[in-house]
């Protein structure tokens, strides 16, 4: 396996392209290490998942992924003060004992935003709020970037033994919640563990949402060559990989966007759009595609399970693409978009595009 960092249009983004081979996944022992699994699990809060595959294989995926309604991701919208997250049964059952993920409303680059994952509370604050809270943090974002006010990031590991009432660090956080972070906030909530009885969330009147899949079948598309050039493996040619990966990623992105540019009957004036499906005219073909999309507040482990289920459901020689996009686009080093592509007639081989935002 080898990986190249492809140049990006924007200096704040980097696209890491990997071409490698992954082993056959064991559904009883889901993989956690090595790409593409580690890339999926490293994402914080996923809001959209897209699966693209040949239309003739749609039923196989429906039977595996959609046949069981309980498999669809479930999340809640709830209004709570930050201090309520750190109090009583909610704090004990969901953070100290259980495992939840939460994300508050707002833009990380301009508003006060809170997130909670794996017991770690992260706060993105403006300078005034940071100074009023009296907490210890670090600068966030590019220094001297025009048009942006100073930002600060503060983190607490709430599972630490020192994070208890009566402890200096925790009491300082509780004081800030009472006097500074005292306004109700709208959160997205997902429980990754067993729901306690009685449920501490219920007293906050949560609204339940289910991310049912949206299916677009029989998409008539112009098909580029989906098989990577042989020189990528034989010569480890960076130039060939860059060119193939860029063209294929652009085409897959247009399929995800439901763009008419990839349609067989598209007759757009070249003056309005210069895009053309990559490849020589003799190499292009026509095909029927299916796109299945989920949108909501999706945990990374769900996307990993989905990738495993797709691999096990489809024939080994068939191609598919699975893409995820996160909420948190402005966090340093976090993956903003991830696409995994399995080429046709290449069991185990994959292409991975990992697009990250850097502040």
Report how far residue 72's alpha carbon sits from residue 65's, in angstroms, rounded to the nearest whole number: 8
Q: Which of 359, 337, 340, 338 is closest to 351 using CA atoms?
A: 340
- Residue pair 102/188 in contact (Cβ under 8 Å)? The answer is yes
CA 280, 281, 282, 288 torsion: positive or negative?
positive
174, two tokens: 């509780």
Residues 224 and 332 in one domain: yes
Q: Which domain holds residue 133?
A: 74-210
For 243-284, write each residue's pLDDT tens digit: 889 999 999 999 999 999 998 888 888 888 888 888 776 667
Domain termination residue (choose one: 160, 191, 210): 210
Residues 92 and 187 in one domain: yes
Q: What are the residue ranges in the chain where pLDDT is below 70? A: 1-13, 141-149, 231-237, 281-283, 328-335, 357-359
Q: Which of 200, 195, 226 is closest to 319 using CA atoms?
A: 226
Residues near 259 by beta carbon (within 8 Å), at least 6 away in sequence: none
For 191-228, write each residue's pLDDT tens digit: 999 999 999 999 999 999 999 999 999 899 999 989 88
Domain termination residue (choose one: 188, 210, 232): 210
Domain termination residue (choose one: 210, 233, 248): 210
Residues 229 and 205 in one domain: no
Residues 222 and 186 in one domain: no
Residues 129 and 162 in one domain: yes
Residues 127 and 198 in one domain: yes
Residues 345 and 243 in one domain: yes
Residues 346 and 262 in one domain: yes
Number of domains in the chain: 2
φ, ψ at 283 (rounded to 5°): -90, -15
- Residue pair 78/204 in contact (Cβ under 8 Å)? The answer is yes
Q: What is the pLDDT of residue 358?
A: 54
Residues 89 and 170 in one domain: yes
Residues 203 and 255 in one domain: no
Report how far residue 322's alpha carbon sits from residue 350's, in angstroms, rounded to the nearest whole number: 11
- Residue pair 100/116 in contact (Cβ under 8 Å)? The answer is yes
Residues near 225 by beta carbon (within 8 Å), at least 6 away in sequence: 278, 279, 283
Q: What is the pLDDT of residue 279?
A: 75
Q: What sections of the chain are H helices per DSSP?
A: 37-41, 58-61, 82-85, 88-89, 127-133, 168-179, 230-234, 238-256, 300-313
Residues 308 and 330 in one domain: yes
> Would strands 120-126 and 151-157 be described as parallel, antiparallel, or unpaired?
antiparallel
Q: What is the pLDDT of residue 143?
A: 57
Q: What is the pLDDT of residue 211?
A: 94
| Neighbour count for residue 80 (Cβ, 10 Å) | 21
Report how far residue 250's alpha carbon sits from residue 323's, in angstroms, rounded to the nearest whole number: 13
Residues 79 and 66 in one domain: no
């Amino acid at each position: 396996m080898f990986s190249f960092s492809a140049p990006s249009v924007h200096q704040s983004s980097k696209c890491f392209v990997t071409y490698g081979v992954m082993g056959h996944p064991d559904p009883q022992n889901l993989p956690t290490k090595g790409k593409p699994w580690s890339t999926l699990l490293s994402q914080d809060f996923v809001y959209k998942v897209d699966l693209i595959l040949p239309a003739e294989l749609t039923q196989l995926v429906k039977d595996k992924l959609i046949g069981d309604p309980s498999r669809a991701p479930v999340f809640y919208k709830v209004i709570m003060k930050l201090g309520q997250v750190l109090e009583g049964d909610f704090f004990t059952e969901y953070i100290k004992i259980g495992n939840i993920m939460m994300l508050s409303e707002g833009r990380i680059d301009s508003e006060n935003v809170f997130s909670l994952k794996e017991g770690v509370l992260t706060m993105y604050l403006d300078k005034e709020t940071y100074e009023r809270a009296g907490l210890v943090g670090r600068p966030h974002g590019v220094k001297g970037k025009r048009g942006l006010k100073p930002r600060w990031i503060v983190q607490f590991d709430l599972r630490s033994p020192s994070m208890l009432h009566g402890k200096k660090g925790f009491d300082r956080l509780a004081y800030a919640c009472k006097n500074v972070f005292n306004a109700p906030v709208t959160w997205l909530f997902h429980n990754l563990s067993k729901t306690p009885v009685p449920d501490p969330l219920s007293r906050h009147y949560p609204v339940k949402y289910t991310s049912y899949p949206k299916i677009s079948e029989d998409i008539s598309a112009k098909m580029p060559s989906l098989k990577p050039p042989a020189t990528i493996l034989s010569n480890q040619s960076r130039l060939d990989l860059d060119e193939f990966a860029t063209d294929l990623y652009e085409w897959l992105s247009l399929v995800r966007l439901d763009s008419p540019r990839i349609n067989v009957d598209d007759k757009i004036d070249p003056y309005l759009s210069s895009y053309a499906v990559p490849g020589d005219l003799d190499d292009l073909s026509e095909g029927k595609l299916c796109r299945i999309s989920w949108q909501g507040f999706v945990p990374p482990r769900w996307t990993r399970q989905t990738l495993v289920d797709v691999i096990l459901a489809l024939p080994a020689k068939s191609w598919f693409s699975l893409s995820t996009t996160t909420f948190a686009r402005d966090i340093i080093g976090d993956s903003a978009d991830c696409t995994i592509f399995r080429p046709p007639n290449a069991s185990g081989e994959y292409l991975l595009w990992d697009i990250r935002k850097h502040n």
